[in-house]
Structure 1
Amino acid sequence: MTLKEQITDDMKAAMRAKETAKLGTIRLLTAAMKQKEVDERIELDDGMVLVIIEKMIKQRKDSITQFEAGGRQDLADIEKAELEILSKYMPAALSDEEVQAAVAAAVAETGAVGPQDMRKVIDVLKTRLAGRADMGKVSGLVKAALAK
């Protein structure tokens, strides 16, 4: 079962169970997925769905920070609930050692020798680590590996 099918099944289950918060969040996710498919005239695979979910998770984290800074704990709680629902669709995160091993393998595979080759390495890692590692940290690790 693809991630997209799982999300659709979860939406149906939320409708039957009358879980309005979960249903609303899943509907936002499916709307974002359909928008991407229509805009780019493509069929989403699991990797592309994960990118959409990552983006939505990042938006929720930013919103939580802003709401808490503004003293709106009620809105922050809503965002936290949505964040929890979206996070269930993400694969398990990789450990630091696994990420470092993936970076080393990608550097060796691409034949990268310096900072000018960083883009090649990042492109390889984006597909392999999608949703399983923070790409900001990965970028730093690649930069450090290529600076040696």
Structure 2
Amino acid sequence: MSLLENLNQDMKQAMRNKEKQKLSVIRMVKASLQNEAIKLGKDVLNEEEELTVLARELKQRKDSLQEFKEAGRDDLVDNLNAELDVLQVYMPEQLTSEELERIVLETIQSVNATSKKEMGKVMGALMPKVKGKADGTEVNKLVQKHLS
């Protein structure tokens, strides 16, 4: 089942259960997917493009969450945590730290990187492998750690 079909099904269920928060998040994600399809001039996005949109939505909320925590806005923090929980359901299973570290080391070896100067080369080869399965900031820190 495609992501859009899954979202439609969950949206109907959220309407039946009167889950306003979940319904709102699903509608926002659907709108983002449709906007991306329009931007790319397509009728339907492929799985990778859908994953990119989902990852962007997740990242936006995580960034906002951090800002709200720093500002002491607990009401908004709770709201965003609920939105993140809804979005996580549609993301692929996240890599464990061990799996991520193994992929990082393999990629560093495959591109023969030895210094931080080659960080861009490593990240360019690595990110498509872990797209949607790991946080980019975490990946970046691991690559820096192993290249220093």
TM-score by length of 2: 0.80
Q: Does 1:4 align with 2:7?
A: no
- In the alignment, which residue of structure 1 is the partner of 2:60? 59
The count of corresponding residues between Structure 1 and Structure 2 is 147
Cα 1:70–1:38 change in 2 (3 A) is same
Identity %: 36
- In the alignment, which residue of structure 2 is the partner of 1:131? 132
Cα 1:127–1:5 change in 2 (3 A) is farther
- CA–CA separation in structure 1 for the residues paired with 2:37 and 2:102: 34
Post-superposition shift, 1:61? 2.9
Greater CA drift, 16-25 or 114-123: 114-123
Post-superposition shift, 1:33? 1.0
Confirm or deny: 8 A CA contact 1:14 1:20 kept in the other structure: yes
- In the alignment, which residue of structure 1 is the partner of 2:19? 19
- In the alignment, which residue of structure 2 is the partner of 1:81? 82
What's the C-alpha RMSD, in Å, of the aligned pairs?
A: 2.4
| Residues 74-107 of structure 1: CA deviation (Å, up to 9, x unaligned) | 3332222111111111222222221111012222
Unpaired runs of at least 5, structure 1:
none
Greater CA drift, 87-96 or 112-121: 112-121
- In the alignment, which residue of structure 2 is the partner of 1:35? 35
- In the alignment, which residue of structure 2 is the partner of 1:91? 92
User: SS at the partner of 2:107?
Assistant: helix
Cα 1:143–1:80 change in 2 (3 A) is closer
- CA–CA separation in structure 1 for the residues paired with 2:98 and 2:7: 31
Cα 1:26–1:94 change in 2 (3 A) is same
